[in-house]
A = this chain, B = another copy of it.
Amino acid sequence: NFDNDCDYLWLKSSTPESIYHHGRVGINTDKPEEALSVNGNIRVTGCIEHPSDMRIKTDILPVDSSRQLERVCQMRLYQYRYKDGVMRGANPSNESRHQVGVLAQELRDILPDAVHETNTDVPLSDGGTVSKLLVINKDRILMETVGAVQGLKKIADDVNHRLDSLEKGFSQTHTLKNSKDRFSREGTGET
């Protein structure tokens, strides 16, 4: 009976006022491909939490920040808007809105683990279809940017070191040269 039907979709949790669903949930899409697929915007008043506990991680290796800086500098940023109709079902203001970001096809060459090929087909208003839509993980770009900043800091430290040497060398030469000049002039004067 449909009590079960109802219960099948959402169940009450043991914690108060909590409900849950096992499987995938779609909002404005009848084919959710991920645990939660939202066609449209998400608004959240609090923060977004990600597990990052070292105890659930393995094969942990440090990342080279100078390589991360290189990769960030290879990313090309564009302004663009979405083609007519591709945001159908979502907040229509998204479609006209000016966007800034990367192109997944280009990012895939630089940061392959930030790009994921999906099974989603997107119909275009010209009658065509985009198949196997590419999606990106912006948090992966954030982590690369953190490393890039660290790479830049190393360059800045090196630059400051070279500047210190030049300034020291220049002021010494200047002083030395002035005293030599004086000596040389005095010597010439004595002749």
Q: Contact check: which of B17, B33, B48 meets A138 at CB < 8 Å?
A: B48
Contact with B along A134-167 (1 / 0, CB 8 A): 1111111111111111101101100110110011
Among B57, B87, B115, B149, point to the contact of A72 (Cβ < 8 A).
B149
Interface residues of A (CB under 8 A from B): 2-3, 5-6, 9-63, 65, 68-69, 72-73, 75-83, 86-87, 89-91, 94, 97-107, 113, 115-116, 118, 120, 122, 124, 130, 133-150, 152-153, 155-156, 159-160, 162-163, 166-167, 169-170, 173-174, 177, 180-181, 184-185, 187-188, 191
Contact A17 B13 (CB under 8 A): no
Contact A40 B34 (CB under 8 A): yes
- Which B residues touch A100, using CB under 8 A? 63, 113, 140, 143-144
Inter-subunit contact A40/B48 (CB<8 Å): no
Asked if B35 contacts A15 (CB within 8 A), the reply is no
- B19 and A91 form a contact (CB under 8 A): no
Interface contacts beyond A34-B49, A77-B146: sample of 4 additional A-B pairs, CB < 8 Å, sorted by A: A45-B87, A52-B136, A58-B81, A61-B79
9 CB contacts below 8 A, A to B, read A19-B23, A19-B24, A20-B25, A21-B27, A24-B27, A35-B90, A44-B50, A53-B105, A166-B166
* With A49-B42, A103-B54, A169-B170 as contacts: A139 and B138 at CB distance below 8 Å: yes
Instruction: Give CA–CA (A89, B133) in the complex, Å.
Output: 24
The CA of A139 and the CA of B99, in the complex, are separated in Å by 11
